[in-house]
Every structure is written in C-alpha cells, then in structure tokens.
C-alpha cells in the first residue's frame, strides 16, 4: 500500500519518516503544507472540527491506524480467537488495548470507530497514560474517550476526539490494525505523518512528508517577511496577497532572507 515510500520501515512494515522531518513539521501550520498534498492529487487528507485535550499542544507523529466496526458475533469470535491464540488475552469488550500495545515512540494512534461516543470510548486515563508514556505524541480518535480529567493531566500527549462519555467501550469489534481508515472526510494510512494544529488534523503521505516540511519552512519564511512589510506599511495588501510577487518585492525578499541568515 505504501510502495511510493523508499526509506526506512518499522518491523511492522510501516514507513518510518525520519525524526528530522517530523521536527520540521512541528512548527508548520496546515495551510503552509497542504498545497504539496493538493498538487499531488491528495485532496482528502484533512479533517477539522475536533475536540482537543490540550489545545496549546501540537500533534506530530507517525500513524498507527485501527478500525472498529459495530459488533458482529462471527467476526468478533474470529478476532478474539486469533488474539488469544497469539498470546494476547482478549475479550469482546477489551480489544482497544491491542492497538495501544502496538505503539512505539513517536506514533500517533489513529482510530476509526465510526464517530461512536456512547459505548465508543476508545481510551480512558489508563490507556491514555500508556499512550503518553509509549509515544509522547497522542491520538486521533473519530469517536469517544472517557476520564477526560485524567487524560488532560497527561504531560506529553494530545488527543483529538469527537466527544466524551462515562460508558466503557462495548459492542464493537477491532476489524483491522494498520489498514487504510476513514477519519471523517479524510483517508489515513499506516505510516502517514499526522499533523494536528488548532485548524484540525492533516494526514501527510510519507513519500510527500519531506517535501511538505521543506515547503512549510519556505512558506513560513515568506509569510514572516510579508507580514513584517505589511506592518511597516511598505507594501499594500494588493501587492503582497498575490500568488507571485512583483520583481522588486521578490528582490527585497531575497535581500531580507539573506540578512536573516
């Protein structure tokens, strides 16, 4: 599924985008990097309108994807039997921990539970603590969480979610781990770089991550120049807010950029 990625991979096969690329993206905004995806034909990678446990934190990491479906007994029986045979004791109502146990440092748990909140609480503060310590990143859950006060006390991670409820997770089956999943109107793949900001969540295909990071850095630099010149009153918005600057403005930018080092 990820044959366009030619770099390192995890043991589970997921693309391993370098840490340096993740760090570059950590200061990017959605608007600064999405154009790279759009130009490459990836038009369904963003989802907004989230609740967020730590609004001041950014979320950056590599996706581990999971899909839950409404419980169907025959499918659930196969899933439970398989997990138990592999030495991972599991029941119908505790399959969420299997996703958490697969995480490593820098991972983001990305869960499609079809927007379910009542009895759709994928994590509480115990699994949230495990995510916090294992990944130091967080999760994107198209569904519910519980124990919100405990989760908001975690020191490293941030969770994007749809709602809270005191009920435990029930009547669902883990149908797939590290498969393509739908998160609202976006398609997420295992190994995608997850970028969560106040605007929402962007799933960046791994083979585009480095270009997106470079483009984001270049756009941030140009934005800094543009806003500075607008604040000084040197140029008008009609001169700055265009796709291509006039030659004299471009020369001014290059001189300014060189002076910044």
pLDDT, one tens digit per residue, over 116-129 is 999 999 999 999 99
Q: What is the pLDDT of residue 200?
A: 98
Better-predicted residue by pLDDT, 1 or 166: 166
Q: What is the pLDDT of residue 206?
A: 98
pLDDT, one tens digit per residue, over 169-188 is 999 999 999 999 999 999 99
Q: How far apart are alpha carbons 151 and 162 in whole angstroms?
A: 14
Q: Is 93's pLDDT higher than 90?
A: no
In angstroms, the Cα distances linking 247 to 165, 177, 220, 241, 250 are 57, 52, 20, 14, 5
pLDDT, one tens digit per residue, over 184-215 is 999 999 999 999 999 999 999 999 999 999 99
Percent of the chain with pLDDT over 70: 100
pLDDT, one tens digit per residue, over 18-31 is 999 999 999 999 99
């Amino acid at each position: 599924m990820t044959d366009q990625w030619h770099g390192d991979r995890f043991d589970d096969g997921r693309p391993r985008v370098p840490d340096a690329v993740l760090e570059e993206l950590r200061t990017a905004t959605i608007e600064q990097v999405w154009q790279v995806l759009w130009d490459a034909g990836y038009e369904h990678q963003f989802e907004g309108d989230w609740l967020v446990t730590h609004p001041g934190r950014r979320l950056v990491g590599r996706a581990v994807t999971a899909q839950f479906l409404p419980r169907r007994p025959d499918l659930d029986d196969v899933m439970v039997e398989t997990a138990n045979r592999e030495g991972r004791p599991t029941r119908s109502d505790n399959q969420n921990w299997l996703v958490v146990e697969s995480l490593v440092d820098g991972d983001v748990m990305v869960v499609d539970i079809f927007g379910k909140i009542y009895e759709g609480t994928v994590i509480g503060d115990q699994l949230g603590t495990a995510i916090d310590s294992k990944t130091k990143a967080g999760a994107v859950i198209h569904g519910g969480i519980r124990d919100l006060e405990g989760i908001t006390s975690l020191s490293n991670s941030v969770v994007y979610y749809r709602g809270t409820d005191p009920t435990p997770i029930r009547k669902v089956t883990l149908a797939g781990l590290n498969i393509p999943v739908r998160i609202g109107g976006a398609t997420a793949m295992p190994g995608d770089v997850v970028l969560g900001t106040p605007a929402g969540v962007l799933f960046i295909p791994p083979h585009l991550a480095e270009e997106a990071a470079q483009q984001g850095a270049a756009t941030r630099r140009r934005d800094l120049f543009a806003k500075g010149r607008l604040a000084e009153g040197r140029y008008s918005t009609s001169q700055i807010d265009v796709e291509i600057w006039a030659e004299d403005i471009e020369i001014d930018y290059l001189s300014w950029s060189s002076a910044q080092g």
